[in-house]
Amino acid sequence: MDFSVIMQAPEIRALVQENLLQRAFHDALYPKLMYRSATTPVLWPANVGDNMVFTGVGLIKPKMRPLQPGTDPTPSSYSSEQWEATLQQYADSIDTHMPTSMVAIANLFLRNAQQLGLSAGQTINRLVRDRTYDAGLAGWTVAAAYGPGTSMPVQRLNGFTKARYTGVNGSLVKFGPVSATNPLAITVFSGGVATAVNVIGFTSTYSGDEVGPGVLLLDGAVTTAARAYVVSSDRTNLVRVGGGMKVDDVGSSDLLKLESIRTAVAHFWQENVPEMPDGRFHLHLDPTSLSQLYSDTEIQRLNTALPDYYIYKDFAIGEMLGCVFFRNSEAPVPETVSGGLTATYDQDDPFPGELYNNGATTGVRIHRPMLIGQGGIYEYYQDLSALITEAGITGKVGASKISNAGIDVDVERIQLIIRAPLNRLQDQVATSWKFIGDWPFRTDATTGDASRFKRVACIEHGE
């Protein structure tokens, strides 16, 4: 039995207050929020509606043949593409009972506002993360066992619900919903046979969701086995350690190496993807991915006899292969994705990838480092001061800088609202945060290869 410094005599211990409650709240473990820093903030123009369409153009094909004497050149043309953003409102709130705050161990009102701000920063960061992975994993999924038929159930709809078909009556410029006149070409591989068909419609398991599970309507009948791979013709380039065409092909021995990062960077260069403003591509990876790199013989050879170099001294890669390495504890793993620990899709956290190699928790965990180039994802935001008129407001509105355990939380462009107590006793204060905007990921389908999204490259590896 342990004893404190107090004498153990009962009459002495009775004179001393025990279990004294410290009058303070201690900060929780909190991640550094990095995905939002990859966005390009753009103010939403006033009075333009809640939807905007953006246009990108392709290149004119070089003409290498000399002209025949006395003839004019044939006029050239170039293709165009469009993507869109829609203003959405995101918010949360917490109530504080002021009499309780007055008698609590510390100011409960201030702590509630602090916790709400932390939640706001993490919410926006994960929204940006999911949008980035929507682009990075677009056009890759697996099917359930069924057939023959034209309604194929798949694990993820991401990348299969929109198309830009250049045929007659198709969506020549804008990526629009798939239909009989705007089909999306895909390949279904089952039983050693690859079948080319078109997606002409879809039905989502969750209303309004175009990321999670659902059914693809095809223009031809196919038969699939369980976990057969399905890929679109404009799928995003994906580097899978060990090769293969689906997440199930990643095994426990397929660990991250510099070779895979080189492959992703080389493809960026081939597609003319611009570097970030600091002159490097940004590679976000979770701590497990970073740790695996130290087992790679290539990086070990590069750092032989350099035990005091920062790579080993600080356990940080820093810059290498034209990339800046960011250790990101918000990277998608079962612990940071809603439903991840049970291998279920959660519409409230629409992450587009499966987190285990067979779709169940008995499989190998999948890690996904993400390489990001400049100009991929934008943050279109509304100036929330426009919501305040001459009529005034009931309470206070402002922005706050929040720090938790020494980490500054990015709450820029997020509005903090403290409403005056409006109940009959005027002792219930509501604190809320609000953001109005969207995070579209631009397309680059008119140049380079057939990929729709070219400014991201996901690497999949095991554990």
**Kind and range of the H or E run holding 115:** helix 108-136
Confidence of residue 267 (pLDDT cuts 50, 70, 90): very high
The yes/no answer on whether domain 27-62+79-138+236-463 falls in CATH 3.90.1690 is: yes
Instruction: Give the tens place of pLDDT for each residue, 284-294.
Output: 999 999 999 98
Cα three-residue angle 248-250-251, rounded to 5 degrees: 110
Sort 394 into a burial class: Cβ within 10 Å, 0-12 / 13-18 / 19+: exposed
Answer yes or no: is pLDDT of 168 > 80.
no
Tell me the average pLDDT across 168-174.
Answer: 76
Task: Tell me the torsion sign for CA atoms 269, 275, 280, 281.
Answer: negative
3-state class (DSSP) for residue 47: coil
Pairing status of strand 428-438 against strand 88-97? antiparallel
pLDDT higher than 60, residue 1: no
pLDDT of 9 strictly over 80: no
Q: What is the pLDDT of residue 182?
A: 92
* Distance, CA of 165 to CA of 173 (rounded, Å): 8
CA distance 41 to 380: 6
Digit-coded pLDDT (tens) for 227-249: 999 999 999 999 999 999 999 99
Mean pLDDT of 9-17: 73
Q: If pLDDT is split at 50, 70 and 90, which confidence band does 415 have? A: confident
Q: Say if residues 461 and 367 touch (Cβ distance below 8 Å).
A: yes
Instruction: Tell whether the model's pLDDT for residue 21 goes beyond 90.
Output: no
Q: Which of 19-33, 334-348, 361-375 has the lowest mean pLDDT?
A: 19-33
pLDDT tens digits, one per residue of 89-102? 999 999 888 888 77
Q: Of 237, 243, 247, whose CA–CA distance to 269 is shortest?
A: 237
β-pair partners for 189? 194, 229
Reply yes or no on whether the pLDDT at 405 is more than 70: no
Lowest mean pLDDT across 217-221, 295-299, 314-318 = 314-318
**Prediction pTM value:** 0.89
| Cis preceding-peptide flag for 148 (omega within 30 of 0) | yes
Average pLDDT, the chain: 87
Task: Give pLDDT tens digits for 345-355.
Answer: 999 999 999 99
Q: Is the pLDDT of residue 407 over 60?
A: no
71-84 mean pLDDT = 89
Report in angstroms the alpha-carbon separations of 420 from 394, 423, 432.
Answer: 6, 9, 12
Report d(CA 60, CA 269) in Å as an integer. Answer: 20
- The DSSP call for residue 275 is P
* pLDDT greater than 70 at residue 404: no
C-alpha 463, offset from chain centre = 21
What percent of the chain stands above pLDDT 70? Answer: 88
pLDDT at 304: 77
Q: Which residues pair with 354 in a beta bridge?
A: none
CATH 2.40.10 maps onto the chain at 141-233
How far apart (Å, rounded) are the C-alpha atoms in residues 422 and 98?
12
Whether pLDDT at 382 is above 70: yes
Confidence check: pLDDT of 440 > 90: yes
Buried-exposed string 104-130: b where 16+ CB fall within 10 A, e elsewhere: eeeebbebbbbbbbbebbbbbbbbbbb
Classify residue 422 as exposed, middle or buried by CB count within 10 Å of its CB (0-12, 13-18, 19+).
exposed
Sign of the alpha-carbon torsion through 298, 266, 278, 403: negative
pLDDT mean over 392-404: 65
Instruction: Look at residues 133, 132, 127 and name the one whose alpha carbon lies nearest to residue 88.
Output: 127
Poorest-pLDDT segment among 25-34, 170-179, 269-278, 409-418:
25-34
User: How far apart (Å, rounded) are the C-alpha atoms in residues 240 and 242?
Assistant: 6
Token reading at 408: 């500054």
Fold adopted by 141-233: Thrombin, subunit H (2.40.10)
Residue with tokens 């009556």: 169
Phi then psi dihedrals of residue 287, to 5 deg: -60, -35
Q: Is the pLDDT of residue 153 over 90?
A: yes
**Partners of 100 in the beta sheet?**
none
